[in-house]
């Protein structure tokens, strides 16, 4: 129970400094208690889908309720249905990072509730980042060859490229048959092969199609593969193709000099983005997008209605970020990123990344020492891809075995991991990235895997 | 000075319950002090564009700084450059609403920093709402007539439709010459005329084009005009046209029975959205979108990568909101909206809306009593459109006069209003919608207008 205070019905004003102070102080304690007790919750929710509908009324209350009542409902009705993304035992997908500095920045941003003047080009997520650059690239090529050629445009990525790229293609109208997700191989560490890109482009040109966009990835979702930017850039240069680099997860690691080389070749990219909310201690959402030629973006997304005109925007003395993104208004996201940079400083941020990578390495070592398991892709950052080997070498059975293992560890509520499929095999993904994860969580997680595996193998 | 505590350098952890508690309590006091002193700031920033670049370093600090230092910078460097959207003297654009409940919801959402299970289909902004339904509508028609017919698709709105509609059209690839923004007239209160829509559709069909989308508005940006949904719906029904209703601002007012009739005819709409952050006490951002046939949306935005599969999503026992929106991840926005509904209750929310409308009416009465001014559009909600009449009836001079009047009142820092152009005339927009605005702010604002006008007319 993290909320236990007895409250009384309060007559809450829309805004009043003293009421805000009083209630927000209560909320701070609620959130602090949450973090104090975070390890006591099942990481992955254990309720049935739809459970909440039975617990809450169908319409809004006519009279106000007290904060006490609402917070009791948060504790007893809402929290049982959520996944605790900030738990130190969250090892799934890629974690999203909260931090004290990020939270303070969010508080300040929400507290003063103003739209942000921005700094850089901060989008909400990588999905929005790739969408806006894809629109810019599409319009740049269509201005040359005519709008009716849309059906001839071809885009490239690998079969490891994040699904947000496919979604962006759907939104901007790229024909599905012109989305080339080139096959990657285990022997190549699941990186996009420059040769296969070159072949695909040549083949498409020969067929009368028009290649115009490449989405390369530094740190793919399934295995944190790094596409070879330098080699890809050399191919792209020979054509008029927009080169986007998605470093949503691994971009953060590149603030450490020893990982910086993964971005070699980035100078050829037309656009680049990383998610500060993934591994950079910045509360969700905050995705930083860089673009080489901002005019292409502005040309595609500009509108100029009378009611938004002002001397600064008309005189071009300010940058109008509404023309760099989908929405008109934007939350003041730069505030929290700025607070993270200042309250932690670069050295601490580097240590933070290195510590996660060290913990992932420790986990990898533990897996490697147990001959019942296999590491299936080289660990580059803080993701370990592994699987339990089937005793009978039957691949179909192996997939079921690992899917059962995932269910067993997740349903315990003790940890949360996710999976992927690589080269046709069902693979477990163990990512270290939650701010509260320490060595003891790694050790306990591995023990859980060993026990669950023993039990599964015995019963098989 | 709203921040004056002497701080010392702290060694901030990424996350620690007690450090979070201590620092967040400080931040609460900073924000409460901000609201205590909010009227002491110039509403509209008085700095020069680019001022901040000279005040801040070019790179992130290597060592952490103290919260004290950062908050001093917020006060001395950041705040002078922002517009105080929560000031009771903010009467521009449409205000964005913060509230204690909304802030508490934001705190909880940012504090626990988890992705939201959602409820309804909450988008960030109206721009994203219209974009996703436009994609769904485009794909629905193209599935019937073939992808290559994109260049024949025509969309309709009025010359008062928000610019986010044009932007959405640009993104999804509607040819600019097929965007019909039909002319509205003063005698028609700037509402979209069903006759002109009918004419335009017939003409386009006769020309071999394919009408497929109408964006109607309840409460336009320039004058809060209400398009006649019922009559428009009857026309639309005869064709296969997607009918979207944008009630970003005025949707909130329709929770009062006396304003509900503005939505008459909504039952014919395919989609509807309102911005809870505009006039519904919910901190930015939160735009609620309803859609009649969710399958169209899901068909257009679905992706199904292996690493996101789980039993609940594969078994269709849960709604996967990633297929209803652009980003994959979403902030837990429903939490703050739910807290607003519960902590205020429907009656208080209705009173809140009615009070703003009453204050706008008072302002309108003040304007009407001064013969130097003209009310230029019927006030329907909380926006008053007016202008200072030129002594010599010269329209060109009238535009300059009102632009000067806007500059005069805004540069005083005492209030902030915005403008528009209606029927070729430069018009002042005075919107009552900030949570802290009381009668005294209206009276003082009007006095400022009178004084500034006298001074302008004397010097002319």
Residue A198 is part of a domain; what is its CATH number?
Answer: 3.40.640.10
pLDDT at B119: 35
Interface contact A438, partner B, CB < 8 A: no
Q: Over the stretch A181-231, which tens digit does the pLDDT of each residue have?
A: 999 999 999 999 999 999 999 999 999 999 999 999 999 999 999 999 999
Query: Do B412 and B324 share a structural domain?
Result: no
Q: Over the stretch A121-131, which tens digit does the pLDDT of each residue have?
A: 889 999 999 99
Query: For the stretch A144-155, what's the b/e string if a residue is b when 16 or more beta carbons lie within 10 angstroms of its beta carbon?
Result: eeeeeebebbbb
Q: Which of A303, A182, A14 is nearest to B130 (CA)?
A: A303
Question: Which phi and psi angles does B370 have, rounded to 5°?
Answer: -105, 110
Whether A304 and B147 lie within 8 Å, measured CB to CB: no
Q: Which of A111-125, A390-404, B175-189, B314-328 has the highest mean pLDDT?
A: B175-189
Question: Which phi and psi angles does B159 have, rounded to 5°?
Answer: -70, 0
What does the pLDDT average to over B172-178?
Answer: 97
Chain A residues within an 8 Å CB radius of B130: none
Query: Do B315 and B274 share a structural domain?
Result: yes
Query: Do B221 and B155 share a structural domain?
Result: yes
Chain A residues within an 8 Å CB radius of B173: 138, 147, 150, 172-173
Look at residue B390 and tell me whether its pLDDT is greater than 70.
Answer: yes
Domain's final residue, options A299, A330, A361: A330
Query: Do B166 and B250 share a structural domain?
Result: yes
Whether A113 and B16 lie within 8 Å, measured CB to CB: no
Interface contact B29, partner A, CB < 8 A: yes
Average pLDDT, chain B: 90
Q: CB-based contacts of B382: which residues, under 8 Å, 6+ apart?
A: B253, B279, B356, B357, B359, B360, B431, B432, B433
Whether B108 and A162 lie within 8 Å, measured CB to CB: no
Instruction: Give the ipTM.
Output: 0.88
What does the pLDDT average to over B102-126?
Answer: 74
Higher-confidence residue: A442 or B70? A442
Chain B residues within an 8 Å CB radius of A122: none
Of the pLDDT bands very low, low, confident and very high (cuts 50, 70, 90), residue A43 is: confident
Place of tokens 């991991």: A417
Q: Over the stretch B30-45, which tens digit does the pLDDT of each residue have?
A: 999 999 998 898 888 8
Of the pLDDT bands very low, low, confident and very high (cuts 50, 70, 90), residue A25 is: very high
Q: CB-based contacts of B265: which residues, under 8 Å, 6+ apart?
A: B228, B229, B230, B231, B232, B233
Query: Do B246 and B136 share a structural domain?
Result: yes
Specify whether the CB–CB gap between B297 and B132 falls below 8 A: yes
Specify whether the CB–CB gap between B181 and B200 falls below 8 A: no
Query: Do B299 and B165 share a structural domain?
Result: yes
Question: Which phi and psi angles does B401 have, rounded to 5°?
Answer: -60, -45
Q: Which of B79, B74, B168 is nearest to A325 (CA)?
A: B168
Residue window 232-261, chain B: list those with CB within 8 Å of chain A. Answer: none
Angstrom distance (rounded) from CA B339 to CA B322: 23
Query: Do B291 and B182 share a structural domain?
Result: yes
The alpha-carbon radius of gyration of chain B (Å, integer) is 24
Question: Which phi and psi angles does B167 have, rounded to 5°?
Answer: -60, -45
- Among A139-148, A231-240, A300-309, B436-445, the range scoring the smallest mean pLDDT is A300-309
Instruction: Select the residue from B96, B148, B327 to test the A interface by mutation, using most A Cβ atoms within 10 A.
Output: B327
Look at residue A90 and tell me whether its pLDDT is greater than 80.
Answer: yes
In a domain, A248, yes or no: yes
Q: CB-based contacts of B256: which residues, under 8 Å, 6+ apart?
A: B350, B353, B354
Query: Do B271 and B131 share a structural domain?
Result: yes
Q: Over the stretch B236-285, which tens digit does the pLDDT of each residue have?
A: 999 989 999 999 999 999 999 999 999 999 999 999 999 999 999 888 88
pLDDT at B116: 57
Domain's final residue, options A298, A330, A362: A330
Instruction: Compute CA distances B135 → A45, A168, B163, B299, B351, whole Å.
Output: 33, 11, 17, 10, 37
In a domain, A415, yes or no: yes
What does the pLDDT average to over A423-437?
Answer: 92
Query: Do A303 and A393 share a structural domain?
Result: no
Task: Output the domain CATH number for residue B372.
Answer: 3.90.1150.10
Query: For the stretch A236-257, what's the b/e string if a residue is b when 16 or more beta carbons lie within 10 angstroms of its beta carbon?
Result: beeeebbbbbbbbbbbbbbbbe
Residues facing residue A273 across a β-bridge: A246, A289
Specify whether the CB–CB gap between A268 and A229 falls below 8 A: yes
Whether A306 and B131 lie within 8 Å, measured CB to CB: no
Instruction: Compute CA distances B163 → A424, B237, B292, whole Å.
Output: 47, 25, 24
pLDDT at A116: 57
What does the pLDDT average to over A365-370?
Answer: 98
What does the pLDDT average to over A104-132?
Answer: 78
Angstrom distance (rounded) from CA A270 to CA A266: 9
Q: Helix axis angle, B163-172 relative to A126-145, nearest 10°?
A: 70
Q: Over the stretch A337-364, which tens digit does the pLDDT of each residue have?
A: 888 888 888 999 999 999 999 999 999 9
Angstrom distance (rounded) from CA B96 to CA B55: 29
In a domain, A9, yes or no: no
Query: Do B346 and B321 share a structural domain?
Result: no
In a domain, A87, yes or no: no
Residue window 179-218, chain B: list those with CB within 8 Å of chain A. Answer: none
Place of tokens 């006591």: A40
pLDDT at B115: 61
pLDDT at A82: 85
Instruction: Select the residue from A17, A325, A419 to test the B interface by mutation, using most B Cβ atoms within 10 A.
Output: A17
What does the pLDDT average to over B337-341?
Answer: 87
Q: Which of A28-37, A139-148, B14-23 has the highest mean pLDDT?
A: A139-148
Of the pLDDT bands very low, low, confident and very high (cuts 50, 70, 90), residue A1 is: very low
In a domain, A41, yes or no: no
Look at residue A383 and tell me whether its pLDDT is greater than 60.
Answer: yes
Q: Over the stretch B416-435, which tens digit does the pLDDT of each residue have?
A: 999 999 999 999 999 999 88
Interface contact B103, partner A, CB < 8 A: yes
What does the pLDDT average to over B286-303?
Answer: 92
- Around Cβ A323, how many Cβ atoms within 10 Å? 18
Of the pLDDT bands very low, low, confident and very high (cuts 50, 70, 90), residue B15 is: confident
Interface contact A120, partner B, CB < 8 A: no
Residue among A24, A139, A341 whose CB faces B104 most closely: A24
Look at residue A119 and tell me whether its pLDDT is greater than 60.
Answer: no
Residue among B110, B173, B343 whose CB faces A173 most closely: B173
The alpha-carbon radius of gyration of chain A (Å, integer) is 24
Query: Do A306 and A291 share a structural domain?
Result: yes
pLDDT at A101: 81
Place of tokens 């919750």: A41
Residue window 304-323, chain A: list those with CB within 8 Å of chain B. Answer: 304-308, 312, 317-318
Q: Over the stretch B44-74, which tens digit does the pLDDT of each residue have?
A: 888 888 888 889 888 888 888 888 888 898 8
Interface contact B120, partner A, CB < 8 A: no
In a domain, B92, yes or no: no
Average pLDDT, chain A: 90
Of the pLDDT bands very low, low, confident and very high (cuts 50, 70, 90), residue A106 is: confident
Domain hosting residue B447, numbered range: 337-458
Query: Do A345 and A312 share a structural domain?
Result: no
In a domain, B39, yes or no: no
In a domain, A116, yes or no: no
Domain's final residue, options A267, A301, A330: A330
What does the pLDDT average to over B145-152?
Answer: 96
Question: Which phi and psi angles does B77 have, rounded to 5°?
Answer: -110, -45
What does the pLDDT average to over B396-400?
Answer: 94
Q: How many domains does chain B have?
A: 2
């Amino acid at each position: 129970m993290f909320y236990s205070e007895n409250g009384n019905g309060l007559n809450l004003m829309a805004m009043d400094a003293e009421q805000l102070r009083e209630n927000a102080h209560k909320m701070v304690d609620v959130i602090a208690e949450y973090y104090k007790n975070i390890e006591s919750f099942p990481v992955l929710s254990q309720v049935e889908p739809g459970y909440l509908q039975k617990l809450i009324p169908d319409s809004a209350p006519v009279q106000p309720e007290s904060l006490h009542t609402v917070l009791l409902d948060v504790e007893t009705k809402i929290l049982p249905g959520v996944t605790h993304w900030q738990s130190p035992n969250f090892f799934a997908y890629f974690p999203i990072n909260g931090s004290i500095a990020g939270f303070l920045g969010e508080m300040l941003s929400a507290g003063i509730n103003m739209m942000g003047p921005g700094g850089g080009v901060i989008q909400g997520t990588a999905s929005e980042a790739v969408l806006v650059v894809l629109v810019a690239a599409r319009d740049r090529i269509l201005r040359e060859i005519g709008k009716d050629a849309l059906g001839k445009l071809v885009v490239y990525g690998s079969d490891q490229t994040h699904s947000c790229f496919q979604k962006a293609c759907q939104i901007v109208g790229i024909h599905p048959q012109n989305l080339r997700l080139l096959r990657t191989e285990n022997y190549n560490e699941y990186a996009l092969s420059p040769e296969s890109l070159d072949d695909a482009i040549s083949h498409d040109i020969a067929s009368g199609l028009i290649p115009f966009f490449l989405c390369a990835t530094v740190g793919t979702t399934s295995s944190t593969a790094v596409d070879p930017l330098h080699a890809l850039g050399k191919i792209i240069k020979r054509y008029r193709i927009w080169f986007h680099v998605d470093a949503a997860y691994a971009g953060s690691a590149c603030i450490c000099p020893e990982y910086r080389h993964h971005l070699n070749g980035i100078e050829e990219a037309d656009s680049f983005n990383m998610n500060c909310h993934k591994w950079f201690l910045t509360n969700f959402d905050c995705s930083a997008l860089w673009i080489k030629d901002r005019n292409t973006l502005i040309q595609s997304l500009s509108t100029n209605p009378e009611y938004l005109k002002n001397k600064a925007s008309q005189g071009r003395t300010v940058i109008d970020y509404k023309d760099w993104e989908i929405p008109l208004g934007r939350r003041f996201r730069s505030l929290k990123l700025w607070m993270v940079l200042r309250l932690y400083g670069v050295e601490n941020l580097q240590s933070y990344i290195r510590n996660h990578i060290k913990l992932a390495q420790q986990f990898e070592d533990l897996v490697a020492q147990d001959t019942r398991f296999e590491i299936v892709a080289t660990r580059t950052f803080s993701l370990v891809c592994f699987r339990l080997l089937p005793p009978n070498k039957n691949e179909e059975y192996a997939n079921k075995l690992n899917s059962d293992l995932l269910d067993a560890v997740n349903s315990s509520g003790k940890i949360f991991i996710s999976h992927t499929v690589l080269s046709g095999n069902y693979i477990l993904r163990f990512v270290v990235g939650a701010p509260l994860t320490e060595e003891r969580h790694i050790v306990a997680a591995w023990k859980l895997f060993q026990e669950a595996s023993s039990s599964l193998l015995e019963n098989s």
